[in-house]
Amino acid sequence: MLVLLAATKAALVAMFYMHLSSEKRTLAYIALTPAFLCVLLVFALLPDLGAFTRALTHTTPPPAEAHH
């Protein structure tokens, strides 16, 4: 929820205080393309994070050493 709030604030600042709302649409495409690629990259890497976490949590512990 905080990320959504921060993104909304950043968009409002860019549109009104930086006066980008009156710019051409090409500028919006230039700004939105890296944002789209970032989201795509995060979702593409999520399965790897899950596999790494499963590998760490489902390993068998080493056998206990016998005490003499």
pLDDT digits (tens, 9 = 90+) for 25-51: 887 788 789 989 999 999 998 888 777
pLDDT at 54: 72
Predicted pLDDT of residue 67 = 63
What is the dihedral angle through the alpha carbons of 41, 33, 12, 3, rounded to the nearest 10 degrees?
Answer: 0
- Count: domains in the chain: 1
- How many CB atoms are closer than 10 A to CB 31? 13
Amino acid at 48: D
Q: How many CB atoms lie within 10 A of CB 59?
A: 8
Tokens 């206990």 identify what position? 64
Give residue 34's domain range.
22-56
- Tell me whether residue 39 is in a domain: yes
Q: Is 63 within a domain?
A: no
Tell whether the model's pLDDT for residue 2 goes beyond 80. yes
Q: Could you tell me where the beta strands, DSSP code E, fall in the chain? A: none
pLDDT value of position 66? 61
Kindly state whether residue 5 falls inside one of the protein's structural domains.
Answer: no
Residue 13, domain member (yes or no)? no
pLDDT (tens digit, 9 = 90+) per residue, 10-23? 889 988 888 877 77
